[in-house]
Every structure is written in structure tokens, then in C-alpha cells.
């Protein structure tokens, strides 16, 4: 049973004359109460509304403190079931500052990590605090209620048709891609799209270009699928085509992130886009375009998808709802050439596909009724702000020790380290303090390039939160 917290948060202890703002005092009070064992893992904490009323402070102030505590893994928000002290902290000791340090060591964090919690700087996670849960719950409930008998039968292997219509319409407007819903296949995330491509068009031992550094999970997936990957370096114009052609001109496919190269953030230049398309046509090769977070671009005009330039139907366009909605959905999609629809349908029939139609129906309603466009607009503003907070905090804390690569978009920063410093050691030290920092070298195949770290910023809830995290990172990487 959930225990309700009895920690003393009396207003006398929160003082307006202190140097720290009220939300920060509140944040520290909860953090210290957890460290001292006064609040136990699983304990329910008061709702924002009741705590604000009890302390006679604004709800926004309590919310700010709670967001920081959630963002740092101290609290777990469970929607209507209320917020509790994270069960992940269980068994981490009960008294004093020593416990405080221990609760955030990598061992305790890693051993007790559950997939439903965020760690600071976690890569690839959207702003979970800003997701419109109420709207989502309403649409999900409605999708369930209005489910007709037709929708209860075995689903179309290509996915829920209204969602495929909504995606085709969205791609036409936002990504410059002209396609019909028949070309759209709903998949179990990006990996589902890769699986569909592998099963339909590729064969084991096929040679494919892969960006270096590049999305490590796609690389792992393709290697396990038996592909023969050729790492191709990336410079400030994206994939180095010349090198790729010198190394393996006869490759069967190329896997690229043209809008926002993952993880360096550069865009594939127009001359290289055209060159890449020309190569694919000449070689009858496939280009797999991973457009995973193109919606989030904060400077300059949005870049159209590579697919929008594809006259000869050589591009397989893949995207995901993991960044624009949430990864737990496990929904992505693939746009295939018109001439290959039947082949894809045939292989989709033999794969597990995107699963239940209920979440697909909810996404369709979310898109059709304008919530999706509104959510993206809101997130663009929010992420630009969160990116700025983290950049400022890192600059203040680390000075010139970290050099931040300017990204036009995305939800993570790439910070380069001084040449002599190992990024794996830096990341390991951070991880050992519960910070989910990733080493750039883990995303590289070649060993020759300088080290850096990837820092997700989507769940940083304010400038003070950014400063606290930057300081934690600094201290963690100082002491090792």
C-alpha cells in the first residue's frame, strides 16, 4: 500500500528572505527528506494543489519543484494515480548525506532503474512533463468507446488506415513529401521500419553505408540482421559521399539522417543530397532516410525531407512518434515507393506489425483534430528554451572545458571535450552519479576522432534546474 508522506514542509521553513527561491527550497526539502529516510520509496507526496494551498504558495511554484524532482528521478509521476517517491531509490539507505550521495550512484541507479523513469540528460526522450496527458486520455477513451466491429477484426498489416491518411496529409504539408496513404506503413517504432525494409528489399550480407558517428541502435539492429555495414565519416555537410563511393560504390543501401544528423546535428547539404540521389539511381541502391526529429528546428527555416527530392523512388522514408509524442507508444512509420506497395504488404503480413489498433486510433484522432500541430508548435518553443538553459548552464559551469556544438534543432546537445580527455571515462563518471550522459565514441566506429558527450535537454524544467544539473555533472566528472 502507498504511504502518504508526512515530511514537515511547514511554511516557516520556506523563507522568502533566503537566497534561494521558494521552489528551490521546496525541492531541497524533499530531496533532503528522501536522503534522511523521512520519505521512503513508494510514499505518495501531496498533490500540487493541496501542497500549494497548505503552504499558501502558488501552484506554479510547487509544480516547478516537482518537475525538478521528477526530472532528477526523485519522484515518479503516475498521472491520475498521483506522484510518489521513486521506487527506484529503494534500498539505498536511510540516513544523512551519505545516503544522499549513495542514492544517485550508478549502481543504485542502474540496478534499480525501471524503464518508466527518466535520468537527467537521458538521450532521445521528449519532454514528458509537457505531454498533454488529459487530451490524450480523453482521445484514448473515446477511441475505445467508438471502436466499431470492423475495427475489432484482424487489422490491416500496413496499420490503421485513418492514421495512414493522417500521416500522408501531414507529410505533404510539413515535409514536402507527396504520397498516398497506401504508401504509408505503420511500424513498431523505427526498428520496426528497419525490419520491414530488411525483410522486403535486403538480404543478409548486403553492403550498406552507415554514418560514422551514427545512430548506434540502428547500426546494432542492422548488424544483427546480417548486414555488412561500411562506416562513412560525417563532416559539416553531413555524410562524406566521396569517401563512401571510394569505399563501397556498389553498396546496396545507405542509411542517413539528412535533416539533423544523429548525433552531430549537421544537415546534409543540398549538393550532397542530389549526389546521393544520383548515386542511388545509378546503382539501383536504396536510401533509408531516418527523419526522426526533423520537427524540432529552432533556427532558420525547416529543411524539407530528402524524400521530397526523390524523383526516381529510391528513398524509403522512415520516421517515428517517439520524439514528437512519446517512445512508450512504439509507433513509427515507413513510406515506400508506390511500385513496391504490394511487396511491402506481403512482408508486413508475416511480421508482427505495429500491434493493437487502439493507440494508432488515438494518434490518428490526435493528428486529425489539430492537437498534434499544436503540440509541435508548443514543443518547438519549449525545446529552444530548454536547449538555451542547458547551454548557458554548461558554459557558466565548465567555461571553455566543454565546447558545445551548435545544433539547429533536436533534443540533445553534443559537447566536445579537450583532446586529452576520454569521453568514455567522462560519461562513466557521470553515469556513476546517476546522470545518463553518453560518450560520442560509443557512437563511432572509427577511433580517430575527438571525444564528446551527448546530453539530452528535453526534460530540463528551468534555468535553475539546468544549473543544478550542470553542477552535478561538473562535480561528478571532477571526482570520477
**Contact residues for ligand PLP, defined by CB under 6 A:** 124, 189-191, 215, 257, 262, 290, 292, 320, 322, 327, 332
Shortest Å, Cβ 315 to ligand PLP: 16
- Look up cell 541502435; give the residue: 217
Q: Which is nearer to ligand PLP, 61 or 122 (CB)?
A: 122
CB of 215 to ligand PLP, least distance (A): 4
Phi, psi of 316 (to 5 degrees): -105, 115
User: Of the two residues 33 and 440, which places its CB atom closer to ligand PLP in the complex?
Assistant: 440
Q: Which helix (H) or strand (E) holds 180?
A: none
For 378, residues 6+ apart whose C-beta sits below 8 A from its C-beta are: 130
Q: Which of these, 60, 37, 38, lies nearest to 48 by C-alpha position?
A: 60
Question: Considering beta carbons, is residue 157 or 213 the nearer one to ligand PLP?
Answer: 213
Smallest gap, in angstroms, from Cβ of residue 332 to ligand PLP?
4
Cβ closest to ligand PLP, residue 260 vs residue 465: 260
CB 62, min distance to ligand PLP, A: 31
Longest dimension (CA), the chain: 75
CB of 139 to ligand PLP, least distance (A): 21
> Where would I find the beta strands (DSSP E) of 72-120?
75-77, 83-85
Q: What angle do CA 285, 290, 296 make, to 5 degrees?
A: 150
Name the minimum Å distance from CB 13 to ligand PLP. 41
Give 108 or 257: the residue with its C-beta nearer to ligand PLP: 257
Of the pair 220, 338, the CB lying nearest ligand PLP is at 220
DSSP E strands, 145-259: 184-187, 207-212, 228-235, 238-239, 253-256
State how far the Cα of 80 lies from the Cα of 126, in Å rounded to an integer.
20
- To ligand PLP, the closest distance from the beta carbon of 318 in angstroms equals 8
Q: How far apart are CA 266 and CA 260, in angstroms?
A: 6
Q: Which is nearer to ligand PLP, 48 or 363 (CB)?
A: 363
The runs of H, that is alpha helices, within 237-320 are: 241-248, 270-283
Q: Which of residues 136 and 292 has its CB atom nearest to ligand PLP in the complex?
A: 292
Q: To the nearest whole angstrom, how small is the minimum distance from the Cβ of residue 146 to ligand PLP? A: 27
User: In the complex with ligand PLP, which residue's Cβ is closer, 211 or 464?
Assistant: 211
> What is the three-class DSSP state of 49?
helix
When the beta carbons of 62 and 255 are compared against ligand PLP, the nearer one is 255
Report the half-sphere exposure of 124 (CA within 13 A, side-chain side).
Answer: 15
Retrieve residue 220's grid coordinates: 546494432
Measured on CA atoms in the order 146, 148, 154, 159, is the torsion positive or negative? negative
Percent helix, strand, coil in the chain (nearest 5)? Answer: 50, 15, 40
Closest CA to 293 of 115, 54, 126: 126
Q: Rounded to an integer, what distance in angstroms lies between the CA atom of residue 6 and that of residue 114?
A: 26
- The minimum distance between CB 360 and ligand PLP, in angstroms, equals 14
3-state secondary structure (DSSP) of residue 437: coil
Compute the distance between CA of residue 127 and CA of residue 42 in angstroms, rounded to an integer: 23
Minimal distance in Å, beta carbon 292 to ligand PLP? 3
Amino acid at each position: 500500500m502507498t504511504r502518504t508522506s508526512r515530511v514537515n514542509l511547514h511554511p516557516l521553513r520556506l523563507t522568502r528572505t533566503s537566497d534561494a527561491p521558494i521552489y528551490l527550497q521546496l525541492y531541497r526539502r524533499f530531496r533532503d527528506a528522501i536522503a534522511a529516510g523521512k520519505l521512503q520509496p513508494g510514499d505518495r507526496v501531496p498533490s500540487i494543489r493541496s501542497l500549494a494551498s497548505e503552504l499558501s504558495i502558488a501552484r506554479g511554484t510547487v509544480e516547478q519543484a516537482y518537475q525538478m524532482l521528477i526530472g532528477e528521478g526523485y519522484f515518479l509521476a503516475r498521472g491520475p494515480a498521483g506522484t510518489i517517491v521513486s521506487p527506484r531509490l529503494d534500498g539505498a539507505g536511510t540516513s544523512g548525506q551519505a545516503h544522499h550521495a549513495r542514492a544517485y550512484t550508478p549502481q543504485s541507479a542502474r540496478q534499480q532503474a525501471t524503464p518508466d523513469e527518466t535520468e537527467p540528460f537521458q538521450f532521445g526522450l521528449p519532454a514528458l512533463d509537457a505531454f498533454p496527458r488529459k487530451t490524450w486520455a480523453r482521445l484514448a477513451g473515446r477511441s475505445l468507446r467508438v471502436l466499431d466491429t470492423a475495427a475489432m477484426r484482424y487489422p490491416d498489416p500496413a496499420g490503421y488506415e485513418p492514421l495512414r491518411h493522417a500521416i500522408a496529409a501531414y507529410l505533404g504539408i510539413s515535409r514536402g513529401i507527396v504520397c498516398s496513404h497506401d504508401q504509408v506503413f505503420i511500424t513498431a517504432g523505427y526498428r520496426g521500419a528497419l525490419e520491414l525494409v530488411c525483410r522486403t528489399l535486403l538480404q543478409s550480407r548486403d553492403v550498406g553505408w552507415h554514418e560514422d558517428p551514427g545512430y548506434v541502435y540502428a547500426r546494432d539492429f542492422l548488424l544483427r540482421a546480417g548486414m555488412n555495414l561500411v562506416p562513412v565519416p560525417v563532416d559539416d555537410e553531413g555524410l562524406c559521399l566521396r569517401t563512401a563511393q571510394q569505399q563501397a560504390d556498389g553498396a546496396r543501401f545507405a542509411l542517413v539522417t539528412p535533416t539533423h544528423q544523429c548525433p552531430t546535428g549537421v544537415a546534409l547539404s543540398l549538393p550532397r543530397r542530389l549526389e546521393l540521389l544520383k548515386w542511388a539511381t545509378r546503382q539501383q541502391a536504396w536510401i533509408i532516410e531516418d527523419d526522426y526529429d526533423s520537427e524540432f528546428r529552432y533556427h532558420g527555416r525547416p529543411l524539407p525531407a530528402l524524400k521530397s527530392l526523390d524523383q526516381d523512388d529510391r528513398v524509403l522514408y522512415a520516421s517515428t512518434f517517439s520524439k514528437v509524442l512519446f517512445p512508450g507508444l512504439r509507433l513509427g512509420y515507413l513510406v515506400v515507393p508506390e511500385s513496391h506497395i504490394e511487396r511491402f504488404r506481403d512482408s508486413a503480413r508475416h511480421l508482427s506489425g505495429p500491434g493493437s489498433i487502439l493507440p494508432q486510433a488515438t494518434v490518428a484522432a490526435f493528428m486529425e483534430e489539430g492537437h498534434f500541430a499544436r503540440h509541435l508548435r508548443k514543443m518547438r518553443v519549449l525545446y529552444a528554451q530548454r536547449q538555451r538553459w542547458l547551454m548557458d548552464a554548461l558554459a557558466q559551469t565548465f567555461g571553455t572545458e566543454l565546447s558545445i556544438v551548435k545544433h539547429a534543432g533536436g533534443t540533445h546537445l553534443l559537447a566536445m571535450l579537450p583532446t586529452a580527455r576520454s569521453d568514455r571515462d567522462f560519461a562513466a563518471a557521470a553515469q556513476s552519479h546517476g546522470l545518463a550522459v553518453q560518450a560520442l565514441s560509443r557512437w563511432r566506429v572509427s577511433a580517430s576522432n575527438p571525444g564528446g558527450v551527448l546530453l539530452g535537454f528535453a526534460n530540463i524544467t528551468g534555468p535553475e534546474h539546468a544549473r543544478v544539473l550542470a553542477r552535478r555533472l561538473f562535480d561528478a566528472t571532477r571526482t570520477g
